[in-house]
Amino acid sequence: MAWWVLHVDLDQFLAAVELLRRPELRGKPVIVGGEGDPTQRGVVSTASYEAREFGVRSGMPLRTAAKRCPDAVFLPVDADVYNAVSARVMDTLREFGAPVEVLGWDEAYLGVETDDPEALAGELQRAVRAATELDCSVGIGDNRLRAKLATDFGKPAGVFRLTRENWYEVMADRPPDALLGVGAKTTKKLAALGITTVRELAAADRNALAERFGPTMGPWIWYLAQGRGETEVSATPYVARSRGRETTFQQNLTTWDDVEREIAVLARRAADDVAEEGRPAARVVVKVRFAPFETESHGVTLPVPTSDPADIEQAALDVLGRFEPSRAVRLLGVRAEFER
């Protein structure tokens, strides 16, 4: 039997859970995010397929989503409910006896040995639906990268196989940002080099990419374009790489004294999370979103890993000093990263 990586992704997860709780909303555009109030600041966590038809996407400000889809139903995030439903899904997947690597609320990898991965994918879908009434899509790949990309081709509620055999048939003429981890900025830089497709990126000179994008990034995007990736799926429980807190302010902060005060509060809260985790922080990162919507992040490695709230707070304030205090601020965040 052959080894396969399956990527299971719950379709429109948060919205789907809310539709189970509120069946009268089926067929309507539903947007889940923040406190569920588009007049307040917050971002879209999930949009139903009906809302996506209006151009609503995850990460979009709620106010923008409301402009694009004024008839949408907005609902607040209910993390406790999503955690409980997600746990049932993952328990259902584990019943198949394969290693299950949980990636988040709504997705996981399975490593399986089978001669018919499509049949197994169908069994997974039926089991998840029986346990939770939720639909999922399943990507089949000969590595993790291809399996995860395959899932999008199977949505909604479908199955798709992407392997070495059909990689270029499916991906060759797509833009580089069709690859996981290749964003719009990198795609623009590649275009300046005359590289506008996955095929062209895969055929590019690896050393030239290293010179343009750095010794790590350059070879990495070349590697991705060829569809290469890891095949191992680990059932080891997820261990957080960091703990952090952030706040979106309903009114912009216009004085740097207010910004410093809020950073100190967030740093103390992040330090409480670090203490709860039982591991010291090795690095502190501060995120500032200036009005209207420009985000910057800076970080510092601590001299010695620590869980001391005063040290984490001071580090956050030191990092804050790297930002230019000349613009109004709409969001602040502090993240404490653990040693790896």
Binding-site entries: 9, 106
Whole-number Å distance between alpha carbons of 247 and 249: 6
Q: How long a stretch of residues is the chain?
A: 340
Strand order in the sheet with 242-253: 242-253, 329-338, 281-290, 294-306
Whole-number Å distance between alpha carbons of 127 and 133: 9
Question: Which position among 107, 200, 313, 337 bears the catalytic label?
Answer: 107
The continuous run of DSSP H or E covering 338 comes out as strand 329-338
Tokens of 94: 């584990």
Cβ within 8 Å of residue 69, ≥6 positions away: 29, 31, 51, 54, 55, 56
Q: Which residues are annotated as a binding site for Mg(2+)?
A: 9, 106
Cβ within 8 Å of residue 74, ≥6 positions away: 31, 32, 33, 36, 37, 38, 62, 65, 66
Instruction: State the chain's maximal CA–CA distance in angstroms.
Output: 64
Clarify whether 107 is annotated catalytic.
yes
Residues annotated catalytic, as ranges: 107
